[in-house]
Chains A and B, each alone.
Chain A
């Protein structure tokens, strides 16, 4: 059974619902970057939109846009990944609870606060009775959602799936995570970063929906060939996992045209990738995406998107190469791209994309 990525739509720091980042990416100028909002009227009536939280609004827009692109009306499954859920409504309910000492609480905020609000609002809008689920597992929430869809498509239980990554960042949550050094909040300088002179990362929010299906279409971006998730592997086990996935798919490391890594500019995060580069990907060009889309619990979804879009376009834009010298050397049309993601060196994932 082959599984294809049919279409992708996103709302992020980059121009929304667009692939303009391939040609001219927005360069972040602050460590707390807000998403660019699309014209929601195209998807949701202003009346409906007023009642909705930001995240649900974004999720609906990207979901409807990505379904529209591929001419699909009803997916067999709706699966979302969200590390933090609907933070805006959660904070509103929590603040009222504390301020009002558990009295006169807004039921709407509570209703909208659960993580599964996102998938269920999409289902409600589409009147979709199919499989519906939500993953909330830190930086591999999206990877888990994709894994679920991958398993069910492989088993033939479903033919199409709408898989999303939706996470928002509020000023309060940003502040709290900053205290944990979750992001380094210095000024952002791409060149210094590449030279490893500075530890910086930018916070983003994300809403990305993609449609997977078992049938190839004209609009197909690429094939989702295989994937694997693992926990606290250590470098040797990571190497084993990479070898296993290649072997399983009759590929060798030479067949991999590029590896997309979740490099963010934060040395604590990036060291794992540097080590992988040295051990497993010595001669494989490294691509990155968090410089464009920021760090968020759903960031890995952009890694898969960037890889898939390069396979569709048949080329890799220069600005995606982490090492500029690799960009100059790279001439060919990519056929196989690996996406490697980890969260705090605990949860890791490998995703193999093929033209």
Chain B
């Protein structure tokens, strides 16, 4: 947990994927990427009372949010700046709803969790956990690209001067609902996920939360904050191919990467590292790989999927991977893609298998794709 811990683990090649501890599924043979804190421990960290009703999604979100706000000088904050929160959430309070569903319908014991079930309610709880208040909240729910789309909305709000500072990202905890859902689609691997490996056999579900604080350059200057990097481009395109599968040529992915490059005014050769969506499902990695080959040809920059460390954190993934990309950019390293052994026949590249330190990175592209073909890409650049 936290930027420094994440950095240390990425350098050591220590994955957070392991045996199920908090998720109460009977299918314990599947590994998961859990946040190693119980709800009660997270309550303690946040100074939230033991008996207060709050979903795990909100607990994870509030914990990440606090770190992000503190590191951006917003804990406490100067009320003269407008501050908005855009959070990506999909499964929301389901982890509690699936436990209490009988009570929801037949008793009055767990009524308080009915109101906390929906995505917006989870964002609201996260907002409430911040004592200095937000001026606007909203929630994006595009499944596994939710957090990336939160970054995009936040950036558009800043461009239109609709806020001074915006906190963007996402949060999601594991639930039986989506764990069993992915399992019913037969896209979970019984081994830790193996992104871009020939013998990959599905994804590993994870949980987590990550937020970025974004503001215009002049706001940062006036607040006396030195920004970590610049969001130089972003794209959102729809694959429009199938509800859950990606197209063989990765049309949506191709278009979203091209849109991000065009907006940043960059050539494909300017990209120094790609933090891929790379879930480890046969379909995604092949489709994304082909889309990347269409963009980068035979000049493929170093590629890795850090889902081999975190698991697929669904709605949070775009935030978690943006945070890892920014760490890589400012600390000069390329994280490895764990569990890789053999190249996919139809692709012209292999992922980075050993962490590379002391590298000078200028532009990093990160992909977030989702069910429904909701494909988004963001480019983070060093401030010149």
Contacts and interface: CB of A to CB of B under 8 A. Distances in A.
A175 B114 CA distance: 11
B371 A132 contact: no
Given A114-B371, A126-B240, A135-B141, A93 B181 contact: yes
Given A229-B136, A230-B135, 10 more contacts: A102-B180, A110-B182, A114-B143, A116-B370, A133-B149, A135-B138, A137-B137, A151-B157, A176-B104, A346-B124
Contacts of A111: 185, 243-244, 371
Contacts of B27: 102
A152 interface: yes
14 contacts: A110-B181, A114-B141, A119-B372, A120-B240, A120-B243, A123-B372, A123-B373, A124-B373, A129-B240, A131-B236, A135-B139, A137-B123, A138-B118, A140-B138
Interface in A309-355: 346-347
B221 interface: no
Contacts of B90: 114-116, 136
Contacts of A78: 238
Contact of B97 (A94, A131, A140, A175): A94
Which of B124, B139, B244, B251: most chain A CB closer than 10 A?
A: B139
A105 B243 contact: no
Which of B111, B159, B371: most chain A CB closer than 10 A?
A: B371
Nearest to A346: B124
B240 A137 contact: no
A243 interface: no
Contacts of A112: 243
B169 interface: no
B372 A132 contact: yes
Nearest to B157: A151
B118 A120 contact: no
A180 B110 CA distance: 11
Contacts of A347: 120, 137-138
A179 interface: yes
A179 B183 CA distance: 33
B236 A137 contact: no
Q: Which 4 A-B pairs have the closest CB atoms?
A: A120-B372, A110-B181, A138-B120, A132-B238
B52 interface: no
Nearest to A182: B115
A23 B229 CA distance: 57
Interface residues on A, range: 35 or more
A115 B185 CA distance: 18
A129 B372 contact: no
Contacts of A126: 240
B29 interface: no
Nearest to A85: B141
Given A124-B242, A148-B153, A229 B114 contact: no
A101 B176 CA distance: 10
A160 to B, nearest CB: 15
A130 interface: yes
Interface string A165-180: 0000000100111011
Contacts of A115: 90, 119, 141-143
Contacts of B239: 129
A179 B114 contact: yes
A134 B142 contact: yes
B121 interface: yes
Interface string B88-119: 01101010011001101100100100110011
A231 B137 contact: yes
A123 B240 contact: yes
B372 A97 contact: no
Contacts of B98: 94, 97-98
A127 B184 contact: no
B25 interface: yes
A130 B140 contact: no
Interface in A227-262: 228-232
B314 to A, nearest CB: 10
A176 B102 CA distance: 11
B127 interface: yes
B49 interface: no
B7 interface: no
A93 B177 contact: yes
A107 interface: yes
Contact of B237 (A130, A138, A172): A130
Given A137-B120, A180-B115, A94 B141 contact: no
Interface in B342-384: 370-374
A102 B176 CA distance: 8
A47 interface: no
A231 B132 CA distance: 12
A117 interface: yes
A121 interface: yes
B8 interface: no
Contacts of B252: 129
Contact of B119 (A97, A136, A152, A177): A136
Contact of B133 (A83, A102, A155, A232): A232
Which of B120, B133, B371, B374: most chain A CB closer than 10 A?
A: B120
B27 to A, nearest CB: 6
A132 B236 contact: yes
